[in-house]
Chains A and B, each alone.
Chain A
């Protein structure tokens, strides 16, 4: 039985569950309902589905909203849809486009969690008299001696803590992730036991508002004048070809450069001002120091010594990558420098660098730059 560890009796503890229409958030809701909480399901309508999928005349409700409603009905909880279209466009889609056009590789899911799910939804939950908000994320919220901590999910293969690094302490204090302590098999067993309808098969999509992964088309729609062709230049200065817009490329990319023959070449960096893509050999992707902006620190308050010398952590520089040992030096202005023990390849601006100490997430920041510092002789 799930227990959120709150003081109030469960029957008088209202928990808003952010329901995406998928099986995970549904199982979260069902477990909380089973435990006796006063559960309210809310789904955010993030964008006009018909418009996003360019299906004129289609209903404005996406399948996931209809799924969420049906699931809530089956679980026996009230369910509501909040119109978050304007905010999603402003906070997520616009910056997604701007980020790509600035030569970055953005992660819109983090912004959505930060501003909509844990920003607006948390505020609305408070308006509705809710004591807590739960989601179907695979992460753990652990109550430490100095307040709530964010930890990796018990099932490391499903861990989503990377996407939650921007969650503030104040947000975390009201958030719960009931699935974070469960293995995949346990979640499945609970879903079956509680008759949570298994979500229909969806087309695999990395980003919910980008149909068929064609983010170039989405950017073209958001920023019609932005696609500007330019040169593909080798690190040594040779012009190797032309491209149709830097937003089609990401650091570390090898395929699709349209350059024939010779040594394998990778995108080393994107230069938006010159509309230039710089390519080079794999070695050129190596970097030892990563700069971050808008750092969210979730660790314990730092001592002066830690501020000056930095903290030993492990970092994840891409959602799909493993951990790397590093030392993080935080600055007062919210930026940070990450000194990697071993050089990493293809660190892309716009991605997140998330700090871990064992199971615990100490926060993270947005990658603003990467430098190759030559190792001392």
Chain B
């Protein structure tokens, strides 16, 4: 059988060769970055260089970068200092935001998948002043780009600080944290082609902050624990390659080709948020009337790795909260999968996927239509 094709970059990109090389090199260093001796200094050098590389991705000062175990920790840490009940979050945030502040007021999104700015303004103008607003830069399921500049302006006007989960945006769209006026942002290395298990909270000086993990004085006492040197080195290498934004220019035509192929081969296919501002790598596709979990399994058996909704730890698939928030018709939402491209995706992968989509759809829709006939 042919090697399977990976089209699930929004879940995690394969490790880039440069990241792997940087990690292998860093693994050879013996020292603890906190140590005084030459070995420690060598490890420290890697981390401080990485801090600069990661900061450049967001045009943030290097001192703003706190390395974490990933974006989930970064999001939790960013929200840790906020008083309960004074947080506004968009309804389409990642679970690491929603579960960290369960009492937060949720801002609706428009059917196009963009956060409702009027609702944000109303919420900010409410009797209880908000302390913190969290809106993601790019949604992980739909790829829809959020109007962070406008959100930041509103937050500033009402004296709230803004945290932005930039996991799906970094390396895909230009982000200038200082220009935007965002107080903090979170990043994940493995979405960029770095390793899993490392990320960063980038938080501008003077922002209210309370450490989530206490212990030693690492990361200027904002995140205790010996740094994951090799992973940070890999993160930096991936960040360096992402800063120039060359990838989106290559992926946009591939994604557009994929969407036109699947809609031509299977006219029943619905492209979610097709007309919305989207990042270049994400195609959110639905076969109405078909179960997304069946689609994902059938495509996997055809050799194409995609995902649906939010997978639970058991692997079962729940209907997506994001699509529900966008008021996507239930039948469409239940049949939606996410296809996300990245640095190793080529035209053959896209065409192969479209053919697999057509094969699977033919089988599933034939059964669906039979069922409809029986009911009628």
A residues lining the B interface (CB < 8 Å): 14, 40, 45, 59-62, 65-66, 69, 78, 80-83, 123-124, 126-129
Contacts and interface: CB of A to CB of B under 8 A. Distances in A.
A81 B314 contact: yes
Given A127-B363, A128-B298, A82 B293 contact: yes
Given A80-B297, A127-B294, A128-B297, A45 B314 contact: yes
B315 A80 contact: yes
B298 A83 contact: no
A78 B294 contact: no
Given A123-B367, A127-B363, 11 more contacts: A14-B301, A45-B316, A60-B313, A61-B315, A69-B315, A78-B301, A81-B314, A82-B293, A83-B293, A127-B298, A129-B363
A60 B318 CA distance: 12
Contacts of B312: 60-61
Contacts of B313: 59-61
19 contacts: A45-B316, A61-B313, A62-B314, A65-B315, A69-B315, A78-B300, A78-B301, A81-B315, A81-B316, A82-B316, A83-B293, A83-B317, A127-B294, A127-B298, A127-B363, A128-B297, A128-B301, A129-B298, A129-B363
* Most B Cβ at <10 Å: residue of A60, A65, A78, A83: A83
Interface string B359-375: 00001100100000000
Contacts of A128: 294, 297-298, 301
B102 to A, nearest CB: 13
B314 A65 contact: yes
A61 B314 contact: yes
Given A60-B312, A65-B314, A127 B367 contact: yes
Contacts of A59: 313-314
Interface of B: 293-294, 297-298, 300-301, 312-318, 363-364, 367
Contacts of A82: 293, 316
A69 B314 CA distance: 9
Contacts of B294: 124, 127-128
Nearest to A126: B367
B367 A60 contact: no
A40 B316 contact: no
A31 to B, nearest CB: 21
A129 B301 contact: yes
A69 B312 CA distance: 14
Where chain B touches its partner, the secondary structure class is helix
B316 A83 contact: yes
A127 B301 contact: no
Contacts of A78: 300-301
B8 to A, nearest CB: 15
A45 B313 CA distance: 12
Nearest to B314: A61
A78 B300 CA distance: 9
Contacts of A124: 294
Nearest to B317: A83
A83 B318 contact: yes
Nearest to A61: B314
B28 to A, nearest CB: 32
A244 B315 CA distance: 41
* Most A Cβ at <10 Å: residue of B300, B301, B318: B301
A123 B298 CA distance: 13
A40 B301 contact: yes
A70 to B, nearest CB: 13
Contacts of A69: 315
A305 B298 CA distance: 49
A128 B313 CA distance: 22
A337 B363 CA distance: 43
* Most A Cβ at <10 Å: residue of B293, B312, B315, B363: B315
Contacts of B298: 127-129
B363 A60 contact: no
Contacts of B315: 61, 65, 69, 80-81
Contacts of B316: 45, 60, 81-83
The 9 lowest CB-CB distance pairs between A and B, nearest first, are A61-B314, A83-B316, A81-B315, A81-B316, A45-B316, A80-B297, A127-B294, A65-B314, A81-B314
A66 B316 CA distance: 12
A84 B293 CA distance: 11
Nearest to A45: B316
A132 B301 CA distance: 16
Nearest to A49: B314
B146 to A, nearest CB: 30
A127 B295 CA distance: 9
A123 B312 CA distance: 23
Contacts of B367: 123, 126-127
A59 B317 CA distance: 15
